[in-house]
Amino acid sequence: MKKLLFPLLVFTCYFFSCKNTQSPSPTPDLDPTQTLFTVGEQTVPVGNFIYLYNKNYQKSKDAYTEASLNEYLDLYIHFKLKVKEAEALQLDRQPGFQQEYNSYIQQLSQSYLTDREFNQKLLKETYQRMQTEVKASHLLIKLDADATPADTLKAFQKVLQLREKAIQGEDFAQLAYQHSEDPSAKENRGMLGYFTALQMVYPFENAAYTTKVGSVSQVVRTQFGYHILKVWDKRPSNGQAKVAHIMVRATDGISAEDSTQAHKKIIEIHHKLKEGERWDELCKHFSDDFRSKDKAGELPWFSTGQMPAPFTEAAFSLQKVGEISSPVKTPYGWHLIRLLNKKSLEPFEKIRPTLESKIKRDSRSEISKKQFLRKLKKDNHFQENRETAAQVLASLEQQQTIPDSNAVLFTLNQTPYKAGDFFAFYQTQNRQNSHTKYESFVEHSLMEYEKDHLAEKYPDYRHLSQEYREGLLLFKIMEDSVWNKAMQDTAGLHLYFQENQHNYRWKKRLKGSIFDVVNDSILQEVKEDLQKVSFEVSPYGFKPLLFKPMTTEFTSASAREFRKIEAYMKSNPSYEAKVTVFLRANEPITLAGQRAELLTSRLKQYVLSEKQITVTGTNTLLSSEEGETKIQLLTQNRKYLANKYNHHNPLAVKYIEGIFEKDNHPALEKMPWKKGNHQVKIDKRIYYILVEEVIPSQPKALSEIKGQVIADYQNHLEALWLKRLQQKYPVKVQEEVIKKLVR
């Protein structure tokens, strides 16, 4: 019901990407701060109008014509009147409004609190690296991120000694096995296999891509400690592969006997595939990967570095779709791999959004953040009083107090940040030493300062934040002043309906049904079926029911079938059930009555009347070799006729019923409007219309069109409200300014 016409025209929320290129004004010499109109005492600059106008008319052939400008100006004035009233009522001070607006601003600001140029370089560097796969080994000496200087030096000297040994030609695998503090080194001797960009932490990735093949890298520091790498190979990207697999579990540590059995099993499955047995059947019965076995072993797309190295190498070595690998061993077990598809690395622009998202979560985002902080310091003339900062930090370390809360630690564009500000921040931070907390305070202050000045630096940010704020105010004021009032004012709604009932009339209508049929032969069958009172719900029936010989107890299969029939009846109490009881040749006729009584008692709980159940075969012996009992479900609902004919051809018959006006269906315009059956042919389809009643034009009841009336009543209330607002806040338009915009 809520009509949000103008905000839908006016504003779009940019939660993640706020790059909005504003079209230049058609008159570049026009000052965007010049007043276009006033609302009461409030001035509205022409620049705001141009910004919103461009968003809605930029691609229109009528852009900047006098008519379109005046049309949009009227809408914009109405919009600003409503926002003015919302501000007068202080809706922008309500907690709910502030929470929603601040949440949006928080998200909007994130895309501006970054060095876009630097991020662009990171993006291109990442994509460039993704075109190459690196094979490397590494050796790790662990070191905590906040290690003491003494521990840091000790770890650094140790890794330097190991690097020197590697450079001198000692076996890197053996060095990793003996000295690496990466737990996996005891198994893989430091070998990482092939990997590509975004699969390792950024400093590690840098070392891998900048070290020549056959060389040992410089020492690399990451959050895990100190590393050295040896690069064995670099090759073009394999792109991505989509495969299916059959897996026989054989994890490390199982017994030799179990390992042998697993190997024999995968060899046997491979043999069966070579003999022509179906992959999906073998996968379903023998694969131990329970997540994929029922999908013929299908796995998601993957690239180098995302699967165990032996699996990856085997998968990418397959050349033809459908080709199957020899058995491959991984830490999970034995695999047979079937190639489903391959694709090369996708173009940069296509995967750009994915890369941007991954980089935000990747360790290189910290590099981007540090670069942005450096830029903020430069742009905002960051000046630090290092001596004062050192004194404050020393006091905090020793006494947990500060000597002078007014002491200036640093300035941003001459705005002072004092020791007292830092101390308040200091008390909110946990598990950090004083120096780390101070660095965090500087970072926090830089970010908050930038956030507070975004509107001054970026016109698009200013427009978007204002646009969202005013759109939110509009929604809330419309909700209070129009939408809810129209919904709750039932007396006013009825009065409005009575005064305007001439606008709410039905045209001449008919009550009936329409069969849309594919050809004459099907139509003839439909006509014959329409002579019947009831139609079979399931035209091909349920499976016959079998009782155990000489009993009233179903066989297990028939018990399941009967439960299915009961489910149909339970969900459709208007169904009729026709029961035909057959006996085996040696069963007494009295048993037919007993079985019929059982069926009737079970079915009657689901119907509206016992008359809906008819039974045949209780008084006259109906025998068959198996003694089958049959149940048909019937209905008087004509739509089931369409189901019957559409079983083999889904387009054979379409059926609709209801009350129609002439323009509701093309066939209704080509037939006489009178009671009876009519036939019309349009574009090779035949329409058979059954008219039960012709209803003359008459007034609509409020209950029939309440939604439409409420919408019209909302428009009525809004128009009255706008008149009051125009009196409360007189609007004065600077006509000469709007004329300058006309092209």
| Helix (H), strand (E), coil (C) string for 483-522 | HHHHHHCHHHHHHHHHHCHHHCEECCEEEEEEEEECCHHH
Query: Looking at the predicted structure, is the pLDDT value of residue 691 above 60?
Result: yes
Q: What pLDDT sits at residue 18?
A: 38
Q: What pLDDT sits at residue 586?
A: 86
Query: What's the sign of the alpha-carbon dihedral 195, 196, 201, 206?
Result: positive
pLDDT more than 70, % of the chain: 94
For residue 154, the SS3 value is helix
Rg of the chain taking only CA atoms, in angstroms? 39
Q: Which residues fall within 8 angstroms of residue 597, CB to CB, at 6 or more apart?
A: none
Q: How far apart are CA 158 and CA 226, in angstroms?
A: 9
pLDDT per residue as tens digits for the range 285-300: 899 999 999 999 999 9
Find residue 577's DSSP bridge partners.
613, 633
- Go through the chain and tell me how many residues it has: 743
Region 60-68 average pLDDT: 89
Q: What pLDDT sits at residue 608?
A: 81
Q: Which residues fall within 8 angstroms of residue 192, CB to CB, at 6 or more apart?
A: 135, 136, 137, 138
Q: What pLDDT sits at residue 105?
A: 93
pLDDT per residue as tens digits for the range 382-421: 999 999 999 998 888 887 788 888 999 999 999 999 999 9
Query: Looking at the predicted structure, is the pLDDT value of residue 50 above 90?
Result: yes
Find residue 510's DSSP bridge partners.
660, 694
Q: Among 238-247, 417-426, 540-549, 598-607, whose mean pLDDT is lowest? A: 540-549
Q: What pLDDT sits at residue 9?
A: 33
Yes or no: say if 595 and 565 are a contact pair by the CB < 8 Å rule.
no
Tokens in use for 266?
Answer: 């995968």
Most confident of 3-7, 239-243, 283-287: 239-243
Q: How many other C-beta atoms lie within 10 A of the C-beta of residue 587?
A: 18
Q: How far apart are CA 537 and CA 644, in angstroms?
A: 8
The CATH number of domain 506-533+636-697 is 3.10.50.40: yes
Q: What pLDDT sits at residue 632?
A: 85
What confidence tier does 614 reach under pLDDT thresholds 50, 70, 90?
confident
Q: What is the DSSP-derived secondary structure letter of residue 34?
A: S
Find residue 623's DSSP bridge partners.
583
Task: For the domain made up of 240-344, give the CATH fold.
Answer: Chitinase A; domain 3 (3.10.50)
User: How far apart, in Å, are the Cα atoms of 254 and each of 260, 268, 311, 333?
Assistant: 10, 20, 20, 10
H or E segment to which residue 396 belongs: helix 386-399
pLDDT per residue as tens digits for the range 370-385: 889 999 999 999 999 9
Query: Looking at the predicted structure, is the pLDDT value of residue 4 above 60?
Result: no
Region 544-570 average pLDDT: 90
Yes or no: say if 569 and 575 are a contact pair by the CB < 8 Å rule.
yes
641-644, long-range: CB < 8 A, 24+ apart: 641/515, 641/526, 641/529, 641/530, 641/535, 642/515, 643/537, 643/539, 644/529, 644/535, 644/536, 644/539
What confidence tier does 619 reach under pLDDT thresholds 50, 70, 90?
low
Q: Among 405-414, 531-540, 695-704, 720-729, whose mean pLDDT is lowest? A: 531-540
Q: What pLDDT sits at residue 13?
A: 36
Q: How far apart are CA 668 and CA 434, in angstroms?
A: 83
Task: For the domain made up of 540-633, give the CATH fold.
Answer: 60s Ribosomal Protein L30; Chain: A; (3.30.1330)
Q: Where are the alpha helices (DSSP H) in 510-555?
A: 520-530
User: How far apart, in Å, are the Cα atoms of 324 and each of 75, 266, 333, 335?
Assistant: 66, 13, 17, 10
Q: What is the DSSP-derived secondary structure letter of residue 606?
A: G
Region 517-543 average pLDDT: 86
Give burial (CB, 10 Å; 0-12/13-18/19+) of 736.
Answer: exposed
Region 6-34 average pLDDT: 49
One of 1.10.4030, 2.60.120, 3.40.50, 2.102.10 is the CATH number of 1-112+459-504+700-743, namely: 1.10.4030
For residue 144, the SS3 value is coil
pLDDT per residue as tens digits for the range 80-136: 999 999 999 999 999 999 999 999 999 999 888 888 888 888 999 999 999 999 999
Q: What is the DSSP-derived secondary structure letter of residue 104?
A: H
- Written as one letter, the residue type at 630 is K
Yes or no: say if 667 and 687 are a contact pair by the CB < 8 Å rule.
yes
Tokens in use for 641?
Answer: 């006729």
Q: What pLDDT sits at residue 252?
A: 81
Tokens in use for 411?
Answer: 């300035």
Place of tokens 């005013």: 470
The C-alpha torsion from 660 through 664 and 667 to 673, rounded to 10°, is 40
Q: What pLDDT sits at residue 616?
A: 84
**Half-sphere exposure (Cβ direction) of 638: Cα atoms closer than 13 Å:** 21
Q: Mean pLDDT in the chain?
A: 89
If one compares 472 and 149, the residue with the highest pLDDT of the two is: 472
Q: Among 240-254, 271-285, 614-628, whose mean pLDDT is lowest? A: 614-628
What confidence tier does 534 reach under pLDDT thresholds 50, 70, 90?
confident
Q: What pLDDT sits at residue 10?
A: 38
What confidence tier does 361 reach under pLDDT thresholds 50, 70, 90?
confident
Q: What pLDDT sits at residue 319?
A: 94
Strands (E), 237-382: 240-249, 302-303, 328-330, 333-343
Q: Among 68-72, 538-542, 570-574, whose mean pLDDT is lowest? A: 538-542
Q: What pLDDT sits at residue 625?
A: 59
Q: Which residues fall within 8 angstroms of residue 555, CB to CB, at 6 or more apart?
A: 546, 547, 548
Q: What pLDDT sits at residue 192?
A: 93
Q: What pLDDT sits at residue 5?
A: 33
Tokens in use for 27?
Answer: 């008159």
Order of strands, sheet of 630-635, starting from the edge strand that comes earlier in the sequence: 535-536, 630-635, 576-580, 613-616
Q: Is the pTM of this model over 0.85?
A: no
Tokens in use for 410?
Answer: 């640093």
The CATH number of domain 132-236 is 3.10.50.40: yes
Q: How far apart are CA 270 and CA 272, in angstroms?
A: 5
Yes or no: say if 463 and 51 are a contact pair by the CB < 8 Å rule.
yes
Q: What pLDDT sits at residue 621?
A: 60
**For the chain, domain boundaries:** 1-112+459-504+700-743, 132-236, 240-344, 380-455, 506-533+636-697, 540-633
Instruction: Answer yes or no: same fold for 132-236 and 506-533+636-697.
Output: yes
Query: Looking at the predicted structure, is the pLDDT value of residue 12 above 50?
Result: no
Q: What pLDDT sits at residue 643?
A: 81
Yes or no: say if 268 and 324 are a contact pair by the CB < 8 Å rule.
no
What confidence tier does 147 reach under pLDDT thresholds 50, 70, 90?
confident
What confidence tier does 30 reach under pLDDT thresholds 50, 70, 90?
confident
Query: Looking at the predicted structure, is the pLDDT value of residue 620 above 70?
Result: no
